[in-house]
Structure 1
């Protein structure tokens, strides 16, 4: 089974649902119970949210009011439960999270090769990963308001002062560092391809091996290659598990530099030829 979302998109959806649930809980449930004076009765419950939802439902029914937000909160809870199960299934290999690879896929050249990856044509591919740090920057800026409104529990006074700053500064530095590192790696890879710094090897894929959801490796005329969907690099890293083209016996022509595949050409019709 595959979910056509990147790992970062999958994470962001769950994180957004979590924040949405906390906001609705405060605005709809906590305020309502506080106005009725029943909030303190459930404050010491081991699962406070569920106890508050139960108290909210009971109070709304006694007032003959609709349970719209109660249903919304439980729907979010169920979705988040499946979201968590998805992470475990992904870790165990039962679920694929990631968009199907979109290769260059040019027409075959005179030798029958088709280019399925070119580092320059693929462009800088890690905007989402680098920008994911901005989520925590936003959380840092929103944290004082979240504390003030009671959407999240208030920590000690010193944490209320320093935690937002740590989030903002730390996440900003992380975002800048990740973007700089990945973009510099990309530009160096493009430069290596342009300036003939990359070596070329041609032959059939041999000793192909894969670790589902993690990595794959193979040899071409004694040159070893290894990559993973989970490792952020400028070069080719689309494993067969996530729709990549590499198979045992596949004729390939590879431009490589510092262990990264900068251009990949294949003859797909001859993968099983002897």
Structure 2
């Protein structure tokens, strides 16, 4: 029905939310440093109270929990989306971008648009494996653009634009 080119395809983009759980590794390293130096004079004085003794354990435990939770949720979303695409559990909509509301240059709002009666919203500030490249940051979506979108729920897993 036209000559489209692919702008985004989750099958090609890979696990793009990896940075979110990876950030937790910094906290794990700090936790290891706190734990390994808990008896050093430069970090704690000799009269440590119970809460200061517990800090390295709490920090390290929370860091591990946060990192694994972040990985589980982001990779879980990725695996679900990939599985849905491969099994054909997707919906497609094709047409003109309407009611486009770009994210402002300062950010902090969702970019929104509709194609036919299906509406989408996304932001770079939301951790997702789906399409979320806003117009303010070089994204391709604009009012009147002819697109073909494959989506799982409200997550865009493939974006194609008419040449």
Give TM-score, length-normalised by structure 1.
0.54
Matched, 1:173 2:65: yes
What whole-Å deviation, never above 9, does each CA across 1:151-171 have from its counterpart, x for those lacking one?
x57595223311111111111
Which residue is 2:115 aligned to?
220
Bigger share in helix: 1
Q: Tell me, which stretches of 5 or more residues in structure 1 are unaligned?
A: 1-109, 270-274
Q: Report the secondary structure of 1:211's partner residue.
A: coil
Q: 1:153 to 1:242 in 2, by over 3 A?
A: farther
Given that 1:205 and 1:250 are in contact with CA atoms closer than 8 Å, whether structure 2 keeps it comes out as yes
Structure 2, unpaired ranges of 5+: none
Q: CA deviation at 1:111?
A: 2.0
> 131, 139, 161: which one pairs with 1:236?
131
- State whether residues 147 and 160 of structure 1, in contact with CA within 8 Å, keep that contact through their aligned partners in structure 2: no
The counterpart of 2:155, out of the listed 260, 264, 267, is: 260
Whole-Å separation in 1 of the counterparts to 2:39 and 2:115: 57
Equivalents in 1 of 2:143, 2:103: separation in Å?
Answer: 14
Aligned to 1:196: 88
| Mapping for residues 1-274 of structure 1, pairs under 5 Å | 111-144=2-35, 145=37, 148=40, 150=42, 156-212=48-104, 213-214=107-108, 215-267=110-162
SS in 1 for 2:143: coil
TM-score (norm 2): 0.88
Number of corresponding residues: 158
Change (3 A) 1:141 1:221: same
Root-mean-square deviation (Å): 2.0
Q: Larger Cα Rg: Structure 1 or Structure 2?
A: 1
- Partners of 1:140 and 1:167 within 8 A in 2: yes
Between the two structures, name the one with larger relative contact order (CA 8 Å, sep ≥ 6): 2
